[in-house]
Amino acid sequence: MAEKEEIKVEGATVPVYKYQKDGVTYYEFDTSMLGPPEPMVNALAVLKLLNSPDVRVVMINHKKPMGLFDKIADKYDYQIEEMDGKYKIVFSLKQ
């Protein structure tokens, strides 16, 4: 696993980690222990870093953030993976 570095993201209320893997930069955060509106607030803050095809945002959450998906569907694609009762959502820019 690539080395994760904690970075400061304006508007985020949880730690955000940056790492590289296979030429892609990832920004990862975990809101699985938080209730609304924290997951959406953090996702919208971190998604601002998604500015090229070589960048991904990884969100760990306790449920699928359907309200978030509705809000960002025009600009971002996402893949959902279930893991240990949580959801790992990987966002990318729409091509």
The CATH number for 13's domain is: 3.30.110
Average pLDDT estimate for 14-37: 97
CB 84 within 8 A of CB 62: no
- What per-residue confidence (pLDDT) applies to 95? 86
Radius of gyration of the chain (CA): 12
Where on the phi/psi map is residue 50: left (φ > 0), alpha (ψ -120 to 50), or beta?
beta
* Domain range enclosing 56: 5-93
Where on the phi/psi map is residue 20: left (φ > 0), alpha (ψ -120 to 50), or beta?
beta
CB 42 within 8 A of CB 31: yes
CB 14 within 8 A of CB 42: yes
Give per-residue pLDDT as tens, 52-86: 999 999 999 999 999 999 999 999 999 999 999 99
Q: Model-level pTM greater than 0.85? A: yes
Cα–Cα distance measured from residue 54 to residue 17, given in angstroms and rounded to the nearest whole number: 16
Q: Is pLDDT at 26 greater than 80 in this prediction?
A: yes
**Could you give the number of structural domains in the chain?**
1
- The neighbouring-strand residues paired with 27 are 18, 57
